[in-house]
């Protein structure tokens, strides 16, 4: 395989990696990484990073995902080696980021540099690259208005949707546009998990009587002009973090600083979120993003097809748009995977071959749903821990999530009753049968529970 083809291979690998990897790890550690060499004779794939830290992180945390995806897309028995680029990352040029980002020939298109800035913004996520449709028109209109006058209108702005529908893209686009129109403003983008980790670190270091870290944390967030917290539901149930964010929210709102929040559900549906925070989140503008309709899905595919020069025909794009109606992330991944697999197999991509190719891709994706993934998503949705679900406590806030785990493990993985009991803390099969039957009975007339389980299943399949 020639070097010029590595970019397409890496694009496809990244598309699939984004589906299965931890979103925070993907956003913060994958930018700047690319395939440097594929040695077909010795069966070696060389993946290069910008720093020792980045290389070690990816090798330690993402090796399993990368290995599985590369075996599927390039071939079995390939070994992965991780290297570091020789140049100082601070002096890298666009071309140093590998073939994925290079400008070739007379092509005047520079692919967006993906190294995150200190403010946490990713240069891919701009309004120019956001496709507007009926599913997101209100959210887009609010976002552009905020970028014109941060803190003056629609403050706070709470945006919610399912996984992969463009929340992160849209709120980061606000950040970029604010910096373009108001270059002196301070913009900070953080995920809820990152904010949580900072609070935990500050509290831990302040226990010895040294409050410097807490003071620094307060100064950092309360002196910003635009604060964007993505997946804010991550702080639900974390008392110290909610306390800190409550005071941060009040300080910023009182001084008319812009607050932008995203979640996978509306404020009042975030379980274990303090009421005082829920009421503040709902005090401004709330908008949601629905799944894109066929016309929007097709527009997204056409845009990505032209941008990445995949040369997929209109009939292929239409087929993918028709059969993929979950989210944008999966839509783009399907396009990349389908084109790459057709090229690697030496198959012409047409109306006949795409059916078998996408069938293989979907079959492989089903294999990624594991018992642990189900338990993790249920715990995340209900604001409890995996340890609590597997534990012995029988309070209502744990019994229902535990029984939902039993139900989903049986439905989504066809796991046996004994195995379900084992993964949920060594419970006996009669307990599992009772839990499954209880949820099945409730689903017959409980609209709210139906909605919750549908959202959890959607999160599991698209996380």
Summarize pLDDT for 301-331 with one digit per residue, the tens.
999 888 888 888 888 898 888 888 878 888 8
Q: Give the chain's radius of gyration (CA, Å).
A: 23
Position 13 in a domain: yes
Give the separation between CA 278 and CA 293, rounded to whole angstroms: 30
Residues 225 and 256 in one domain: yes
- DSSP annotation of 110 reads P
What mean pLDDT value characterizes the chain?
Answer: 83
pLDDT of residue 111: 37
- CA-wise closest residue to 193 among 139, 263, 269: 263
Burial readout 209-226 (b: 16 or more C-beta within 10 A, e: otherwise): eeeebeeebbeebbebbb
Q: Strand 44-49 relative to strand 34-39: parallel, antiparallel, unpaired?
A: antiparallel
**Distance (Å) of CA 141 to CA 171, 173, 176, 294, 442:** 12, 12, 16, 21, 39
The winner for highest mean pLDDT among 41-55, 59-73, 176-190, 191-205 is: 176-190
Helix 447-462 × helix 371-382 angle, to 10°: 130
Quote the tokens at residue 69.
């995806």
Higher pLDDT, residue 345 or 86? 345
How confident is residue 436, by pLDDT bands cut at 50, 70 and 90?
very high
pLDDT of residue 315: 87
Give the separation between CA 148 and CA 178, rounded to whole angstroms: 7
**Which pLDDT tens digit goes with each residue over 232-276?**
998 988 888 999 999 999 999 999 999 999 998 889 888 788 999
Position 332 in a domain: no
Cβ atoms of residues 411 and 300 within 8 Å: no
pLDDT of residue 28: 67
Residue 63 pLDDT greater than 90, yes or no: no
Give the separation between CA 278 and CA 240, rounded to whole angstroms: 16
Position 31 in a domain: yes
Give the separation between CA 199 and CA 152, rounded to whole angstroms: 28
How confident is residue 176, by pLDDT bands cut at 50, 70 and 90?
very high
Expressed as residue numbers, the domain containing 423 is 371-462
pLDDT of residue 126: 93
Which region holds residue 286: left if phi is over 0, alpha if psi is between -120 and 50, else beta?
Answer: beta
Instruction: Specify the number of domains making up the chain.
Output: 3
| CATH number of the structural domain spanning residue 443 | 1.10.1750.10
Residues 35 and 162 in one domain: no
**Which pLDDT tens digit goes with each residue over 107-116?**
433 433 443 4
pLDDT of residue 52: 66
Position 366 in a domain: no
Higher pLDDT, residue 212 or 161? 161
156 cis-preceded (ω within 30 degrees of 0): yes
Last residue in a domain, options 259, 289, 319: 289
Q: Phi/psi of residue 35, each to 5°?
A: -80, 120
| CATH number of the structural domain spanning residue 214 | 3.40.50.300
Residues 134 and 277 in one domain: yes
How confident is residue 360, by pLDDT bands cut at 50, 70 and 90?
low
Position 308 in a domain: no
Share of the chain above pLDDT 90, in %: 31
pLDDT of residue 90: 41
pLDDT of residue 342: 82
**Which pLDDT tens digit goes with each residue over 119-173?**
788 888 999 999 998 889 999 999 999 999 999 889 999 999 888 899 999 999 9
Cβ atoms of residues 343 and 320 within 8 Å: no
Residues 258 and 389 in one domain: no
Residues 284 and 147 in one domain: yes
3-state secondary structure of 260: strand
Residue 59 pLDDT greater than 70, yes or no: yes
Position 116 in a domain: no
Last residue in a domain, options 289, 311, 340: 289
Residues 96 and 3 in one domain: yes
pLDDT of residue 104: 40
Give the separation between CA 378 and CA 424, rounded to whole angstroms: 12
Higher pLDDT, residue 224 or 19? 224
| CATH number of the structural domain spanning residue 73 | 3.30.300.180
3-state secondary structure of 11: helix
Q: Phi/psi of residue 10, each to 5°?
A: -65, -35
Residues 139 and 256 in one domain: yes
Residues 60 and 103 in one domain: yes
Give the separation between CA 270 and CA 7, rounded to whole angstroms: 40
Position 240 in a domain: yes
Give the separation between CA 273 and CA 328, rounded to whole angstroms: 28
Cβ atoms of residues 215 and 203 within 8 Å: no
38 sits in which H/E element: strand 34-39
pLDDT of residue 209: 55
How confident is residue 365, by pLDDT bands cut at 50, 70 and 90?
low
DSSP string, 218-281: HHHHHT-SEEEEETGGGGTT-HHHHHHHHHHHHHHHHTT-EEEEEESS-GGG-TT--HHHHHHH
pLDDT of residue 116: 40
The winner for highest mean pLDDT among 358-362, 372-376, 404-408 is: 404-408
């Amino acid at each position: 395989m020639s070097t010029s083809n590595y970019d397409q291979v890496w694009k496809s690998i990244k598309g699939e990696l984004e589906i299965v990897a931890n979103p925070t790890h993907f956003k913060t550690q994958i930018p700047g990484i690319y395939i440097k060499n594929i040695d077909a004779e010795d069966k070696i794939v060389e993946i290069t990073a910008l720093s020792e830290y980045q290389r070690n992180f990816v090798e330690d945390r993402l090796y399993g995902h990368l290995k599985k995806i590369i075996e599927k897309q390039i071939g079995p028995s390939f070994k992965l080696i991780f290297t570091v680029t020789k140049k100082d990352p601070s002096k890298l040029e666009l071309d140093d980021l590998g073939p994925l980002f290079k400008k070739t020939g007379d092509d005047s298109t520079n692919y967006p540099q993906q190294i995150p800035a200190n403010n946490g913004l990713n240069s891919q996520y701009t309004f120019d690259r956001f496709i507007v449709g009926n599913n997101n028109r209100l959210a887009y209109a609010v976002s552009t208005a905020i970028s014109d006058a941060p803190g003056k209108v629609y403050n706070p702005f709470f945006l919610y949707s399912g996984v992969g529908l463009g929340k992160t893209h849209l709120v980061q686009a606000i950040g970029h546009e604010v910096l373009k129109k108001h270059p002196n403003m301070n913009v900070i983008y953080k995920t809820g998990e990152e904010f949580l980790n900072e609070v935990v670190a500050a509290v831990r270091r302040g226990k010895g009587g040294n409050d410097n870290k807490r003071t620094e944390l307060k100064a950092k967030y309360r002196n910003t002009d635009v604060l964007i917290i993505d997946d804010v539901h991550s702080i639900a149930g974390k008392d110290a973090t909610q306390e800190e964010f409550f005071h941060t929210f009040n300080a910023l709102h009182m001084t008319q600083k812009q607050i932008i929040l995203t979640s996978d559900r509306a404020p009042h549906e975030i379980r274990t979120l303090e009421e005082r925070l829920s009421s503040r989140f709902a005090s401004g503008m709330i908008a949601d993003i629905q799944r894109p309709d066929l016309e929007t899905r097709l527009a997204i595919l056409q845009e990505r097809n032209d941008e990445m020069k995949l040369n997929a025909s209109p009939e292929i794009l239409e087929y993918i748009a028709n059969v993929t109606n979950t989210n944008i992330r999966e839509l783009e991944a399907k396009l990349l995977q389908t084109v790459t697999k057709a090229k690697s197999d030496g198959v012409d991509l047409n109306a006949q071959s795409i059916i078998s190719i996408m069938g293989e891709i979907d079959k492989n994706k089903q294999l990624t749903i594991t018992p642990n993934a189900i338990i993790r998503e249920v715990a995340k949705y209900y604001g409890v821990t995996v340890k609590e679900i597997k534990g012995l406590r029988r309070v209502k806030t744990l019994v229902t999530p535990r029984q939902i785990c039993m139900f989903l493990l049986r439905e989504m993985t066809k796991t046996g009753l004994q195995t379900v009991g084992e993964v949920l803390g060594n419970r006996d099969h009669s307990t599992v049968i009772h839990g499954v039957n209880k949820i099945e009975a409730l689903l017959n007339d409980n609209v709210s529970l139906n909605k919750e389980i549908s959202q959890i299943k959607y999160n599991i399949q698209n996380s």
